Structure 1
Amino acid sequence: MIEIINELFRELLTEYSGGISNTSTKKYQKIKQKIAEALPMDAEHIYATGSSKRISNLDTRLPQGNQRGQNAPLAVVFLQQDVRPDETAEHALERIGNSFSATCDKFVSGEERGTTFDGILSFVQFDNETELRPLRFIHIPNCNYASKLESLFPGVSVKEIPRQSLISAAPGTSPAIQITLQDSVIHAKNLIADCRTALLRARMRLSDGLLERFITSLLTKRFVVLAGLSGSGKTQLALAFGKWLEEVEGQVEVVAVGADWTSNENIVGYRDALDPGKYRRPTNGSLDLLLRAYKDPSRPYFLILDEMNLSHVERYFSDVLSSLESGHPLALHGADAEIEGVPPRLQLPQNVFIIGTVNVDETTYMFSPKVLDRANVIEFRMTSADLKQFLVAPQPLDLEVLEGMGLAYGPHFVRWAEAGSVGQAENSEANTSAVASALSDIFDLLSINGSEFGYRTALEIAKFVRIQSELLGEDWDLLKALDAQILQRIMPKLHGSERRLRPVLNSLEAYVSKESYTLSQEKIERMQSRLKDGFASFLD
């Protein structure tokens, strides 16, 4: 089929000066007719348009003319793009395809008010070539011609996108989060159940409530620390969740932190001082993931820093942490233009989620309070009962079964994290009052030894409580949410000698016991026991 399309395209190039850049609306008629005959479909049900160089022009060209405010079965898009000097044609197709999706997915999902297509098929013409290459086909799940079209263009990149409904959004709301609140809540409530089912198929064992806390923590803030016993599943959970949401290869990168990491060069690379025209990217793939995520904002990307505290975290991670907090771009080099595809500055993409794993032993370094103050710290623990149950029928994890199972949630996950909400929380005023009261009490207790928390921590705890209430709905428990945040956000900073730490632990233990915060109480009891040696910290 592509050979026939290209014969017609070469006729188009002869007849219309400028090819795709020519403004004629009739030039694609023969190609459109041929596709219609092959599907089969009425040619009047196919809308064809194109754009030279600027893919973003499709934002206005797809809803033009008779198509504005309507739904059509199929749009066919023609693009003219170039291959960069440092990339292969395959890499160019991936880059252009991602850019095409970032612009056009909304016309299939329904986020573009009024103008929708059941599917959009795209072709690209590289500069100095006289032929088209199939680029990407995006379509709704129940598209009745999808399989036929895929057979006509074997090898074309295919992306299935759920259709959403829209309601009027509040003034100033980003179009990316203008989704129906009711649909969003239903979808969000299914998220945890569907993920848990998939993890069970992969033979992953998690303690009660851990998955809920992990997912809520990621939606609350895009930096989460997993701490605990070596081999207890920290890295595997991070990898499994990323693979579950992964739609295209390269959305998940596991980076092993080295004991010799002393600067951010191990994360973002550096400009070659001897050859300023070259940029030395880290071989671990961390910068490449950030650049891919920047070009593909609708999908979630996961940077997993394994054994994060093998080196001093502040030395190599402070710039990334600052960018995450402030929103300021990362400074990569001092040139005025890109160097080998690396820009001078890079805004940390909103769709990048950073998960660090931590083991505590004689080979690792302690986290500073300023790092722990900026993350949810989730502790992994195992009991003898857990081990016995595992040994009854020990089997390794099967992460391959997870790949792409949850990809429909990917764009939603990015939007929910950006919006800080997944829908409409019930009893929000009562919850806000309860959170404020609990945090005020704990603040006073921690002031005994100067361990109080600031506005940022209080704000993010309130955000966690709200998001988890939206995720779990009727199954949500305010006490469990507050318990999780005392454990994950407030207690990780507690460390010191017995003389300094014992008074605050005694006061905090009495409070959490009275309020029935069981997770926090168990952790305090373990820290109290370790204080007999004269010193204790959360990450022991």
Structure 2
Amino acid sequence: MVEFGRYYINFIREFFENVGAFFRGLFEVFVGFFVNDIGQMFSNFIISSIHFTLLDWVMTLIVFAINIVFIVFLTMKVAQALKKYIKFRKEEIEKDELVAEIAFLNQKTMELIDEKNKILALKVSNLGINPNGDDEDIELTEEEIATSRFVKLLQVDKKYEDTITQIHMNENDMITLNELVVRFINFSANKLGLYYDRKIISAFFSGMAASKTMILEGISGTGKTSLPYAMGKFFQHDASIIAVQPSWRDRAEMIGYLNEFTKKFNETDFLKAIYETTYRDDINIIVLDEMNLARVEYYFAELLSLLEMPDHDAWLVDVVPDTQPGDPKNLINGKLLLPQNVWFIGTANKDDSTFIITDKVYDRATPIEINTKSQYIDAPKTEGVTFSYDYLQELFGQAYKDHPMSLPAIENLEKLDNFITKNFKVTFGNRIMKQIRAFVPVYVACGGSEYEALDYMVARKIFRKFEGLNLPFLQTEINDLSKLLDKLFGKNNFEECQAFLNNIKKQF
């Protein structure tokens, strides 16, 4: 024990003596070079320069200049190398910090999405809607989750795996459009406690015939969201209710986007809803709740353009640039073919918290105003219907044959168009005329009259455009238009148009 202690003390002493000798030697080298050696060099130069000729001094200056330039160049290169290294290290550190921040933001995004879903669930819980559907109970394997960019869409694939979705209608469900309106009103009142009058429901079904997009607008609390909800229950396929967020600026907010860091697609409920329609043959309704909380023409522009294309095979929604192994079955070459059996219903409030819906959107959609609550109906017990998309199209086609627009109505509508174009610089346009020609026959088949349907469409598709005009300078034209309506269509036949004009007159 004592001998080891002596050995260890000697070892420590020798170790630190060697370390001290190393640093002393290093110090002596620096001192010798910068003090003794450099001083000796200058002394030798001074002694030698005594015998220098003019040519020797010229050579001395040139050599000294070259050496100085070389030293400066070498110093600059070393400094640049150090600067690049420091910059590289800084970028690496910032990159690591950025990746960590992105991971944190992704986590927060998922938390916000979960919170949004909970808020939506609370909002519609009184209607009995489950915004997330039943797909949450469908479990995917770890391999499926790891190899696919789409989790929600794979859940839909699994939900409909080995499932027959073809619609088999019973004889009791093969009813006319007029019977369909009455049956829905009774079903909604009896089963859901929601009351609607014939005119609103006739306009809804006629709007389905005229356009794939509808806008339900009016004051809050009049049942705008509950109407498409009730339609989903009636057709025995719940409507998908998507809460529009004020932050929506483009299609990525609605469709989703590919996260380049995680290589996963940030799927939205809207994308999942339209993907599920590819498996179904019945009536599909997707609701954009409070659609004008953001600018509709920004985030919905692509779908508005797609739905205008006459070739339904061109209704392709770009989701990702390509297809990879593990992608959903109905995503072909990164595109999703939008089926014809889906309708997009937007609800809109008119207040200071919302944006104005532009003509681009209104012209492509069928607007329906709901400003009052309907009266209580003591309806008999009524069940919903099993309806295929093909059968609904047959009903629309039969309405076009049985109730085409009459020649006098077409001629009077043309005269009205000419007057409005001349005096208000507003025209019906081919798109609106096409919608009117599709809307009116179905509305008549639903139990309404031809002039009632025309009144409804002209008030909402044409007269609505007057809101952007300088109306105080058009008092004479407004009065003449009111008289022309009575002359062309009969007094009190265009009640909604006359009511709109009377509201304008009150502002004079």
- TM-score bracket, normalised by the shorter chain, equals 0.5 to 0.7
Number of positions where the alignment pairs a residue of Structure 1 with one of Structure 2: 346
Paired with 1:419 and 1:318, the residues of 2 have a C-alpha distance of 30
Paired with 1:501 and 1:244, the residues of 2 have a C-alpha distance of 46
After TM superposition, give the deviation of residue 460 of structure 1 in Å: 1.3
Letter in 1 for 2:258: R
Sort the Cα spacing of 1:500 and 1:246 in 2 relative to 1 into closer, same or farther, 3 A. farther
1:156 match: none
TM-score (norm 1): 0.58
Structure number, greater radius of gyration: 2
Are 1:190 and 2:179 matched, yes or no?
yes
2:204 match: 214
Are 1:460 and 2:435 matched, yes or no?
yes
1:437 match: 411
Sort the Cα spacing of 1:370 and 1:91 in 2 relative to 1 into closer, same or farther, 3 A. closer
Paired with 2:239 and 2:475, the residues of 1 have a C-alpha distance of 42
1:162 match: 170
What secondary structure sits across from 1:495 in the alignment? helix
Of the three residues 278, 281, 304, the one matched with 1:294 is 278
After TM superposition, give the deviation of residue 302 of structure 1 in Å: 0.9
Sort the Cα spacing of 1:331 and 1:481 in 2 relative to 1 into closer, same or farther, 3 A. same
What secondary structure sits across from 2:217 in the alignment? strand
Paired with 2:466 and 2:393, the residues of 1 have a C-alpha distance of 28
Task: Write the mapping of 1:165-180 to structure 2, written as runs, cut at 5 A.
Answer: none
Paired with 2:409 and 2:416, the residues of 1 have a C-alpha distance of 11
1:9 match: none
Letter in 2 for 1:293: T
On the 8 A contact 2:443/2:450 being kept in 1, the answer is: no
On the 8 A contact 1:505/1:524 being kept in 2, the answer is: yes
1:96 match: 161
Task: Write the mapping of 1:206-355 to structure 2, written as runs, cut at 5 A.
Answer: 206-247=196-237, 251-275=238-262, 277-282=263-268, 285-296=269-280, 298-326=281-309, 327=312, 328=314, 329-337=316-324, 340-341=327-328, 342-343=331-332, 344-355=334-345
Residues 129-177 of structure 1 show CA distances to partners (whole Å, capped at 9, x for unaligned) of: xxxxxxxxxxxxxxxxxxxxxxxxxxxxxxxx3269xxxxxxxxxxxxx
Letter in 2 for 1:456: R
Name whichever of 479-488 and 287-296 sits farther off: 479-488
C-alpha RMSD of the superposition = 3.2
1:493 match: 465
After TM superposition, give the deviation of residue 417 of structure 1 in Å: 4.0
Residues 12-56 of structure 1 show CA distances to partners (whole Å, capped at 9, x for unaligned) of: xxxxxxxxxxxxxxxxxxxxxxxxxxxxxxxxxxxxxxxxxxxxx
Paired with 1:464 and 1:193, the residues of 2 have a C-alpha distance of 18
On the 8 A contact 1:309/1:364 being kept in 2, the answer is: yes
After TM superposition, give the deviation of residue 293 of structure 1 in Å: 0.1
Paired with 2:438 and 2:157, the residues of 1 have a C-alpha distance of 40
After TM superposition, give the deviation of residue 281 of structure 1 in Å: 0.7
Paired with 2:257 and 2:233, the residues of 1 have a C-alpha distance of 29
Sort the Cα spacing of 1:203 and 1:240 in 2 relative to 1 into closer, same or farther, 3 A. same
Sort the Cα spacing of 1:375 and 1:424 in 2 relative to 1 into closer, same or farther, 3 A. closer
After TM superposition, give the deviation of residue 337 of structure 1 in Å: 4.3
On the 8 A contact 2:400/2:442 being kept in 1, the answer is: no
After TM superposition, give the deviation of residue 467 of structure 1 in Å: 1.8
After TM superposition, give the deviation of residue 427 of structure 1 in Å: 5.8
On the 8 A contact 1:304/1:355 being kept in 2, the answer is: yes
Task: Write the mapping of 1:8-157 to structure 2, written as runs, cut at 5 A.
Answer: 85-86=144-145, 94-98=159-163, 100-102=164-166, 105=167, 109=168
User: What 5-or-longer segments of structure 1 have no aligned partner?
Assistant: 1-81, 110-160, 165-182, 394-400, 533-540
Larger helix proportion of the pair: 2
Paired with 2:417 and 2:187, the residues of 1 have a C-alpha distance of 39
Paired with 1:373 and 1:424, the residues of 2 have a C-alpha distance of 22
Letter in 2 for 1:426: D
User: What 5-or-longer segments of structure 2 have no aligned partner?
Assistant: 1-139, 146-150
Paired with 1:337 and 1:507, the residues of 2 have a C-alpha distance of 64
After TM superposition, give the deviation of residue 236 of structure 1 in Å: 1.1
Larger strand proportion of the pair: 1
After TM superposition, give the deviation of residue 261 of structure 1 in Å: 0.7
Paired with 2:368 and 2:476, the residues of 1 have a C-alpha distance of 24
On the 8 A contact 1:246/1:407 being kept in 2, the answer is: yes
On the 8 A contact 1:302/1:354 being kept in 2, the answer is: yes
After TM superposition, give the deviation of residue 435 of structure 1 in Å: 3.5
Sort the Cα spacing of 1:502 and 1:263 in 2 relative to 1 into closer, same or farther, 3 A. farther
2:504 match: 527
After TM superposition, give the deviation of residue 266 of structure 1 in Å: 2.3
Task: Write the mapping of 1:333-482 to structure 2, written as runs, cut at 5 A.
Answer: 333-337=320-324, 340-341=327-328, 342-343=331-332, 344-382=334-372, 405-408=383-386, 410-411=387-388, 413=389, 415-417=391-393, 420-423=396-399, 425-426=401-402, 428=404, 431-447=405-421, 448-472=423-447, 476-482=448-454
